[in-house]
Amino acid sequence: MTNATEQQPTIKWEIKKWGPNRILPVKVIKETDKTLWIERIDYRGKPSIDQRRKANDFHDTWEAAHNHLLIKAKEQVKHEKGKLNSARSELWMIEKMKPPIA
């Protein structure tokens, strides 16, 4: 069993999936190896605490979060370039096809 560290609230940087502000600061109230408790303001303007799984979505600095996004985006570009090259090769082969001689 992992004990939560009692600590002063700290700021971590959360990566969001979509939107122009993909890296946002969050106030962490408590933290374990696998879980964060985050203070937030709900839709009524009242403070609440969310329990969230730690994954690659939380970083100690904005720079670390930004670097994580850069690495993922570069991997995605490389993957998509590979798919584009494969599609171009397929197109080239189809363009070079000749009808069978009867």
What are the tens digits of pLDDT across the range 10-38?
A: 999 999 988 888 999 999 999 999 999 99
How much is the pLDDT for 67?
96
29 falls within a domain:
yes
20 falls within a domain:
yes
Quote the mean pLDDT of the chain.
90
102 falls within a domain:
no
100 falls within a domain:
no
How much is the pLDDT for 4?
55
79 falls within a domain:
yes
Nearest to 57 by CA among 36, 74, 43: 36
- Scanning the chain, the segments in alpha helix (DSSP H) are 62-95
Structural domain tally of the chain?
Answer: 1
34 token code pair = 């696998």
Pairing type for strands 5-15 and 23-31 reads: antiparallel
Is the pLDDT confidence value at 84 over 90?
Answer: yes
101 falls within a domain:
no
pTM over 0.75: no
How much is the pLDDT for 3?
55
CB-CB neighbours of 26 under 10 Å: 18
Edge-to-edge strands of the sheet including 47-53?
47-53, 35-41, 23-31, 5-15, 58-59
Instruction: Provide the domain limits for residue 12.
Output: 7-95
